[in-house]
Amino acid sequence: MTAALPSDLTCPRIATRANGLELSRVVAGMWRMSDWGMPVEQRVRFIEQCIDLGVTSFDHADIYGAYSIEGLFGEALRAQPSLRDRIELVSKCGIKLVTPNRPQHSIQHYDTTAAHITASVEESLRQLHTDRLDLLLIHRPDPLMDFDEIADAFSRLRQDGKVLHFGVSNFSRHQFECLDRRIALATNQVEFSPLHLAPMFDETFDGLQDRGVAPMIWSPLAGGRLFTATDANAENLRLVIKDIADRMRVPFASVVFAWIMQLPCRPIPLTGTGRIEAIAVAVAGSRITLSRPDWFRILRAARGHEVA
């Protein structure tokens, strides 16, 4: 049986880069908000409960919920305007979805032109009922992206006070560094979990650590597969994590979040839940330090073999 979470649990903060943006150590991901079925009053309360936990950073993208999530969140900010100055708003742009909400899109594709970046920001600001984004990310690397054009667009948005900091998502180390040479980037948001280890071994994390940049992490619980996958490797991994969690008397997911945050590149994991109890479990992970042997037990189980 795991111990109860402390009643005074709060999330620390972290600078994504020296002299740059600060985010909460755990970020609340909003991409599923349309599935939560919350009326606007409940959305306000959810944001307030996150803030009470110290989770003040909220991750969006223009396309989430087929272009609906920013509007849902913005309704909460309009209902309670004082929330805006207590939080950090993150959004992404650069993907055009085919959806009835965008009938002019004939094919799903990337668009990282200055015109599209600027138009996306304007729409995000309108939907979120705010005058600025704290952080804007390019959502996916675009084969047609022009690094100079993106950097110029970012610079103009900063000059206009519409976006305070910039980053990317799902970029390789080389792609990140190409844009970072033109304009300082605050983060690279990438997929990482014990079931998706690629950034640990493809130089993504090494490169970010070298530049003093903290990555953001999407799907830290592998989209729930850590709890549900039935292949032998995943089942063994689950048993290893559970053994550590039981021994430490902490929740299973707290161990996973702790394992991720213990990396020296200082990853910032995102949640994907509307359950404040689950967010508290993630925050608890920020207060846990695994022993080095336990950390490597999880890595060994995740990879299915010993280190060399």
Q: Catalytic annotation on 64?
A: yes
Q: How far apart are CA 294 and CA 297, in angstroms?
A: 5
Task: Identify which of 95, 103, 25 has the alpha carbon closest to the alpha carbon of residue 60.
Answer: 95
The partner residues of 186 in beta bridges, in order of sequence, read none
Q: How many helices (H) and strands (E) does the chain have?
A: 13, 12
Residue of 27, 51, 58, 64 with catalytic role: 64
Question: Is 185 within 8 Å of 176 (Cβ atoms)?
Answer: yes
Q: Which amino acid is at 59?
A: D
Estimate to the nearest angstrom the gap between the alpha carbon of 115 and the chain centroid: 25
Estimate to the nearest angstrom the gap between the alpha carbon of 184 and the chain centroid: 19
- DSSP code, position 35: G
Q: Is 94 left (phi over 0), alpha (psi -120 to 50) or beta?
A: left
Query: Which residues belong to the active site?
Result: 64
